[in-house]
Amino acid sequence: MDIRKEYDNGQLTVVWKPGLCFHAKECVKGLPGVFNPDRKPWIQVDQATTEALMATIDKCPSGALSYYKTADGPPQSETQPESALTVEIMDPGPALIKGKIQLTQADGSVEEKDGITAICRCGKTGNSPFCDGSHNS
């Protein structure tokens, strides 16, 4: 089950998908008053302007954070049009695969992913082959 949480400031709805997060902490570094993992709820959208929220969320490398204009409602489809597959190597960190992929696991099971998929490069993940941020500790 994919968990999805939304936080609304009246203008912007911030969407967090914890299953995608690999804790690069771009959000925490960018807006520590909004994104504080030691607080419940950890996202408090009323602590920054809508513009600052968008600028910080746009830096999220995993795609775990996104947003939409509240008045427009959620997007009908969160998938991007078919385009070239890209891979970005983070240092330190995972390989970010951007686009639609079909992943075949060692046991033969097949999983389709669309968007950003973070593949672990260090072998420390508890969610192989996906990065879970374990390389940070």
Q: pLDDT digits over 14-25, tens only?
A: 999 988 888 889
* pLDDT computed for residue 80 by the predictor: 46
What is d(CA 134, CA 129) in angstroms, rounded to the nearest whole number? 12
Q: What is the pLDDT of residues 19-67, one digit of tens each?
A: 888 888 999 999 999 999 999 999 999 999 999 999 999 999 888 999 9
Cβ distance 84 to 99 under 8 Å? yes
Task: Identify whether 81 is part of a domain.
Answer: no
What is d(CA 109, CA 10) in angstroms, rounded to the nearest whole number? 42
Task: Identify whether 93 is part of a domain.
Answer: yes
Task: Identify whether 44 is part of a domain.
Answer: yes
Task: Identify whether 79 is part of a domain.
Answer: no
Task: Identify whether 63 is part of a domain.
Answer: yes
Overall pTM > 0.85: no
What is d(CA 63, CA 86) in angstroms, rounded to the nearest whole number? 14
For residue 8, what is the DSSP state?
Answer: E
Range of the domain at 97: 86-136
Cβ distance 131 to 125 under 8 Å? yes
